[in-house]
Chain A
């Protein structure tokens, strides 16, 4: 077997022909379906889609909602996918069971992408029924129904969306009470908004009852799997985590998909972080660009504040020079990267895990950064506080790699756990401590042997407190130096500090199965699909796998051990080249031939079936890299203006 990962296959199957899809009988599927809503962006469908998703959640059924929207304000196609699954598998699924066609521009493609046996509810003028004969069509005269509800054309447009919610709810068996509850929540109890929306739901339900044929294939029935759970997006979760983690200085420059992190932070901070005297225990600044946002974060960190900024790929690129300064001059600060797709502007509103290498090595020279990688909203919450601690402990920029799927889509979770541990502020010498030391200290001296030096903050009232921070060469006492020995000592100590970090970053989560010869490695949102894929492999194919979920860079020693202990290790991630796979190859060295890559990078969240199919094929024919093809989602290829 060759050592290199050059053999590449592309899995590209026509729609509706899954390799390993279990055959389903004619009976009805309870609490297991995907609903796909195709609309035009700017039509206000967001709130009705949220209501539909929430009502399923309130029925006790695990559910997820993913928005696939264009980088545009109005007029381009947008899709919302809801997946309900009794077993809790709520990653994106390629196969659509119930399609709601509201967009003339994509109706044909939307219908053609359906699997045989699916249900399609469509707006009457789109006349979808002639397009296929293996799909059940429900025609609905939305304009006429909405016209009966309101004279106001703007309101009619919004109510149209609520009517389809009523229709779907009625055909699936979602209780009206739960929809009303979801509407009440959505419109924050404002009766004036609630009433017309409930009327629209009733309109839809009544229409379905009177005019549409029955549908027994998919049902939503009350269960008890969501009691006590919350629904939240990762950006809001990160914001809450940062607030309870004691962030004080926040800077940002708007960019999808990261803006909502700082925007929700502003809201939460205004509510919870204004003191009794009416004064803020924080400063939030909208910077002029990401260079400035990063500079402010590092300036604030230098002066002792717990600081953060949030951005996405293009902003990360702009931050590069400062990231190097932060590494070399040893300045704390937290940078959230909510990853989006592609080089350059790419697909601003789609998801990927493509910034791994960029972030890890951001900036020139021998720069290396610590990165945390949350896979869930609760980890977004936890890592937000953790990152602030690590930044101060290690006196270096800490990156947190989230992505659009995690950051902007809604995810179910147990409620977040209140942090009780004190903040870790790192090695900061006060005036009193300096006095005890007789004023003898060196900013970049490795006193403790862990590579982490001590610092003082500007303003410290001691004769010996000051030092000069610079990105140019310096010695242990922060004096300018171009001496070869000083430079080497500095970067060697920084490397040591990086080694020390291994013990303090979130450790990987490892699920070892006895007798499993196959290992899987993934990180971030890939986890959502990967766990489901493992279930499919085990239950449908008898293939047992062990799984290591990475949660940070640098790698800990467990990682190599995991690779050693398995015959083949599949690294599953959402970028074209397998960036983490490449880092792992460097990490494991002589056993790198064990590594395989499964890559998904269409801009849509990875799905379980694609991973399962790829892995089975690779097991069969020894393929080393699979770049998952488009298959059923080829339909989304029509978008993409920016």
Chain B
């Protein structure tokens, strides 16, 4: 099987400090209390790495989640950032409110397949529709881990629980749904492929707008056995790459030679570049119809489609549409938000 990441020429060895003078350690969080081997921990590790390598100041970050094993993880990365573990399925509203109050925050949300595809489906869809600038990760294991392994709405048809129960409903493809709703950045990663994951995360950090990332993140305790379709073994075997991904920072001087027609290059909001190298079939991530076609076909084939599924970096975020002052709303004082006495007098006169 092909590599999921593009090898870039003269890639420097990872520096000991990033451009802010911070160490990777400064991006760590509290000690995880998840089961050993849980996919969610692997995702947390890549979040730490991506924010470190992207030189994001941790104090500028706000972390959000709903409820579930996955939703506990914001406590396990970026300890220097404020975190908010909200209620089940309602993280989108909380994050939206916080972003309205302070649009300078760099937002990242972690949810689960239960948290997003069942109880939180409505809020998820409206988050996509509003295009709130944040990274929204679904750590997708096909089950409700925290309530001990019931099927979730992303469980594949025919997949089996440890108890022998078979799921007979079709799975919800949250990436396809996000594409359908016009999300400007939709990707799928796999907790077992950290290199691809970190590139997707870096691109998401560079994107201005909502970035939805569905990560297949195996639950070793409740869904990693024979007959489960979201375990490590099954995922590894059924990973279907859309392309090889390379990510080049805006300040990096890396030139890549490639044969015409084999590479797509997208410049992201912050000037960094995303390189997508063609595998067997050419894939255009700006084409929603192709994205949906491939997604449906993957479900039919029992494949796990990974890579950048859809990318339209030019979509306007909701915050832009609101035309708010540059100063964050939370910081406005009386002089800025209390109209003068004459304004009240005028309103009163009109009511006399």
Task: Report which A residues bind B (CB closer than 8 A).
Answer: 228-232, 240, 243-249, 251, 268, 272-273, 275, 277-283, 285, 287-289, 291-305, 307, 321-322, 325, 415-416, 418-419, 422-423, 456-463, 465-472, 480
Contacts and interface: CB of A to CB of B under 8 A. Distances in A.
Given A248-B329, A305-B329, A461-B59, A297 B348 contact: no
Given A466-B58, A469-B85, 15 more contacts: A229-B352, A231-B352, A246-B337, A280-B323, A281-B336, A287-B126, A299-B86, A299-B93, A300-B329, A303-B99, A415-B348, A456-B82, A459-B102, A467-B83, A468-B82
Interface in B23-65: 57-60, 62
Contacts of A247: 337
A272 B341 CA distance: 11
B271 to A, nearest CB: 23
Interface stretch (B73-81, B169-177, B253-261): B73-81
Nearest to B78: A466
A291 B62 contact: no
A468 B351 CA distance: 47
Contacts of A281: 324-325, 329, 332, 336-337
A292 B104 contact: no
Given A281-B336, A322-B87, A471-B87, A303 B323 contact: no
Interface of B: 57-60, 62, 74-75, 79-87, 90, 92-102, 104-105, 122-123, 126, 322-326, 328-334, 336-339, 341, 343-345, 347-348, 351-352
B143 to A, nearest CB: 21
A282 B336 CA distance: 10
B18 to A, nearest CB: 16
A416 B123 CA distance: 39
Contacts of B94: 295-296, 298-299, 302
Nearest to B83: A468
Q: Which of B74, B95, B329 has the most CB of A within 10 A?
A: B329
A268 B175 CA distance: 40
Contacts, number: 214
Contact of B84 (A231, A272, A469): A469
A383 B40 CA distance: 46
B85 A468 contact: yes
Given A307-B101, A416-B344, A459-B82, A246 B334 contact: yes
Contact of B97 (A231, A295, A456, A480): A295
A470 B92 CA distance: 15
A303 B98 contact: yes
Contact of B93 (A228, A295, A301): A295
B337 A302 contact: no
Nearest to B94: A299
A246 B96 contact: no
B93 A231 contact: no
B330 A299 contact: no
A289 B122 contact: yes
Contact of B331 (A245, A302, A304, A416): A304
A285 B96 contact: yes
A289 B121 CA distance: 13
Nearest to A305: B101
A470 B85 contact: yes
A261 B102 CA distance: 24
A271 to B, nearest CB: 8
What 6 A-B pairs have minimum CB-CB distances, sorted nearest first?
A: A295-B93, A299-B97, A304-B330, A305-B101, A296-B97, A458-B82
A460 B81 CA distance: 9
A232 B126 contact: no
Contacts of A245: 338
A295 B90 contact: yes
